[in-house]
Amino acid sequence: MPELLIEFFSEEIPARMQARAADDLKRLVTEKLAANGLTFASVEAHSTPRRLALVIDGLAERTADVREEKKGPRVGSPEQAVAGFLKSAGLTSLDQCEQRDTGKGVFYFAVAEKKGRATAEVLAEITPAVMGDFPWPKSMRWGTGTVRWVRPLHSIIALFGGAVLEGSFDLGGAQGKLVFGNSTRGHRFLSPDAFTVTNFADYKAKLRDAHVVLDRAERKAKIKADAEALAAQEGLTLSPDDGLLEEVAGLVEWPVALVGTIDEQFMDVPSEVLITSMRTHQKYFALLDKAGKMAPRFVVVANTVTADGGRAIVAGNERVLRARLSDAKFFWDQDRKTKLEDRVSKLGAITFHAKLGTVAEKVTRVQVLAAEIARSIGADADAATRAALLSKADLVTEVVGEFPEVQGIMGRYYALGEGENPAVAEAIAEHYKPLGPSDSCPTAPVSVAVALADKLDTLVGFFAIDEKPTGSKDPYALRRAALGIIRLILENGLRLNLTQLFKAAHGAYTVGGFAAADGVATDLMAFFADRLKVTLRDQGVRHDLVDAVFALGGEDDLVRLLARVKALQTFVGSEEGANLIAAYKRASNIVRIEEKKDGKAYDQPVDPALLTLAEEKDLYGALSGAGETARPLLAKEDFTGTMAALARLRGPVDAFFDKVTVNAEQADLRANRLRLLSQIRATLNAVADFSRIEG
């Protein structure tokens, strides 16, 4: 079956846009193929700095014939209804319609037979439509044209079954049209001449001959392998940096790795500063020695092959790096002349948020909260207070001003250089952590206290001024802050009362216009419940089980809550648990229906004297026993034992429903049995709200 090959050849596409653009190209084309009834066997999308390419194999040469039916009004309907139907169906007379008896009357049906079209015709329409719909994050016009594209377009390959599609893309204005063709160009410098292709295999092979590695994954693998080989020759290892690898793969079509040298005079500057400067400004990879420390070497990936083996390229990059690192060293030397504590007052000039005050005010609040948390988790409260005081001071240093990525990290270096307690210095570095799911989580008690205080202050403040995240927007990264708090608590096994902490953080604010503390705490607990679902979902825990535990209310100890949820998950996954939940739902439904019908509740105690059948007596005894067994187990937080006690209810509950008629003719028996069913609900709901459990 024929193959479709498309290539859009242009000036350099920004590296950050390429992978997404390839996905968008695949999505847009395949959606339009599906809309035209075309299926395919396989699809691949590729991107390089100067091209987007798509190959689809297994397309039919023609679209299928289609029979479309449209049901109209009943025969004998008013003329206005009939006229509207004919117009919508594109018909002029009822003679063109069929009449069918549907069993609910005789109706008009419009039947249209649409012959299939040549796939080449469809593709010639789809291709420019896709280009017009392309969702570039940023685009431009060029020359006199009116169309927008990420960068100026030069040519379009559009081949189906080896033949060029008849079509073009109108650039607008005096630019004219780019007619579909079968030619492209290779590497800008190494192979700039045009060449023609016949299919994807030919296209890919000729690109390689023209010094273009089409496959992004292959370029990444080559860059990594070549860089590692160069490092090994120096007795070093490559510092892992997947983000930089992804970016560099979008900067080169023919990657050539080269190794350069960093002047020794710069090696006393913290490695994080050196690496940040190299990766951010120059796109260099750092190398590490056997001890894992940064070595005075770097890898630069060129996009060309030179006669001198890259010596001139390396020398040029070393000169540029020398200038960059001279600035970094100057900032580092200057910053160390002023103590961190002397910089704290300057934080008053930085606004945290217009309604929440300055960063200096935030530091004051975090000090109070960090000390309180430290005392509750057995950390050094004085060290936590000191770390909180200094935590933001590096924001007004020259190095962080130039390289914001190293905030916190630089604070640690400055603090250690000033003789601060190592625990304080580490807490300064770690108080922003964890920044995401792949980031490490602090474990040192002082670091944990300050990290929690900083995030709690942020969350409470923004919730108090009603700046909560929406479905699509979270400009203050509040979801990340909540997930960070959850990780800090769970991974360190901290027994904290979140509601009290929310209120303590709320009380530390002195600005006006705040929502009440109770309301903020309630909203935040609901927010944390949603975030906890995200965290536990990654661990294979069902969201409805989290709902079931949160619905009990008053549970804000995340460690205890997680233990309860995991015990509940084990319980509902067992045969006894699944059957007991089904019985619970049956009992709850009966009670709810009867309470609604009778206009009264049946939550009163059961009267043992009215229990006449063995099965209802057995159930009453089992419920009483389960409750007595569960209460001390719950108090000891033995949730697994509690669930085991409840599981023993399955037999008596099954027997009750098999043998006992709930809606007995005698009113007193009926009411007592409904109270017994209500007791099933109450007994199980002591552990979790079982009505929230799905299935």
Mapping DSSP onto H, E and C, the string for 587-616 reads HHHHHHHHHHHHCCCCCCCCCHHHCCCHHH
Q: Among residues 565, 585, 607, which one has the least CA distance to residue 684?
A: 585
Rounded Cα–Cα distance for residues 329 and 25 (Å): 45
Q: Which phi and psi angles does 320 have, rounded to 5°?
A: -65, -40
Give the per-residue pLDDT at 95: 87
Q: What is the mean pLDDT of residues 107-132?
A: 91
- What tokens does 468 get? 């909560």
Average pLDDT of the chain, as a whole number: 93
Highest mean pLDDT among 362-376, 616-630, 668-682: 362-376
Is residue 323 pLDDT above 90, yes or no?
yes
Is residue 91 pLDDT above 90, yes or no?
no
Kindly report, residue by residue over 51-80, the tens digit of the pLDDT.
999 999 999 999 888 778 889 999 989 989
Other C-beta atoms lying within 10 Å of the C-beta of residue 399: 30
Let me know the angle formed at the C-alpha of 247 by 245 and 251, rounded to the nearest 5 degrees: 110
Q: What is the mean pLDDT of residues 122-128?
A: 95
Q: Which amino acid does the sequence have at 547?
A: D
Give the per-residue pLDDT at 503: 95
Other C-beta atoms lying within 10 Å of the C-beta of residue 345: 11
pTM of the model: 0.80
Cβ atoms of 260 and 231 within 8 Å: the answer is: no
Strands 194-196 and 183-185: antiparallel
Residue 364, C-beta contacts closer than 8 angstroms, at least 6 positions apart: 508
Rounded Cα–Cα distance for residues 93 and 373 (Å): 81
Kindly report, residue by residue over 326-345, the tens digit of the pLDDT.
999 999 999 999 999 999 99
Which DSSP symbol is given to 278? I
Reported as type and span, the H/E element at residue 352 is strand 351-353
Three-state secondary structure call for residue 418: coil
Cβ atoms of 464 and 515 within 8 Å: the answer is: yes
Reported as type and span, the H/E element at residue 260 is strand 256-261
Give the per-residue pLDDT at 294: 96
Lowest mean pLDDT: which of 39-43, 372-376, 442-446, 471-475?
471-475
Three-state secondary structure call for residue 391: coil
Highest mean pLDDT among 105-114, 169-178, 498-507: 498-507
Give the per-residue pLDDT at 543: 86
Rounded Cα–Cα distance for residues 371 and 450 (Å): 8
* Gap between the terminal Cα atoms of the chain: 46
> What is the residue-wise DSSP string for 123-177?
HHHHHHHHHHH---SS-B--TT----BSS-EEEEEEEETTEEPS-EEE--GGG-E
Q: What is the mean pLDDT of residues 87-110?
A: 89
Rounded Cα–Cα distance for residues 683 and 627 (Å): 6
Reported as type and span, the H/E element at residue 583 is helix 575-598
The pLDDT confidence band at residue 546, using thresholds 50, 70 and 90, is confident
Rounded Cα–Cα distance for residues 58 and 42 (Å): 7
> What is the residue-wise DSSP string for 286-324?
EEE-TTSPEEEEEEEEESS--TTTTHHHHHHHHHHHHHH
Is residue 695 pLDDT above 70, yes or no?
no
Give the per-residue pLDDT at 534: 84
Rounded Cα–Cα distance for residues 292 and 280 (Å): 21
Rounded Cα–Cα distance for residues 580 and 626 (Å): 13
Cβ atoms of 4 and 54 within 8 Å: the answer is: yes
Rounded Cα–Cα distance for residues 349 and 357 (Å): 10
Lowest mean pLDDT: which of 248-252, 511-515, 563-567?
511-515
Is residue 662 pLDDT above 70, yes or no?
yes
Mapping DSSP onto H, E and C, the string for 184-234 reads EECCCCCCCCEEECCCHHHHHHHHHHCCCCCCHHHHHHHHHHHHHHHHHHC
Rounded Cα–Cα distance for residues 584 and 649 (Å): 11
Cβ atoms of 426 and 383 within 8 Å: the answer is: no
Give the per-residue pLDDT at 192: 96
Give the per-residue pLDDT at 14: 97
Residue 108, C-beta contacts closer than 8 angstroms, at least 6 positions apart: 71, 72, 73, 74, 75, 82, 85, 94, 97, 98, 99
Q: Which phi and psi angles does 80 have, rounded to 5°?
A: -65, -40
Give the per-residue pLDDT at 188: 95
Is residue 390 pLDDT above 90, yes or no?
yes
Let me know the angle formed at the C-alpha of 97 by 95 and 102, rounded to the nearest 5 degrees: 135
Q: Say which residue, 136 or 511, is predicted with more confidence.
A: 136
Is residue 384 pLDDT above 90, yes or no?
yes
Mapping DSSP onto H, E and C, the string for 30-87 reads HHHHHHCCCCCCEEEEEEECCEEEEEEECCCCECCCEEEEEEEEECCCCHHHHHHHHH
Give the per-residue pLDDT at 332: 96
Q: What is the mean pLDDT of residues 633-649?
A: 89
Distance of CA 133 to the CA centre of its chain: 25
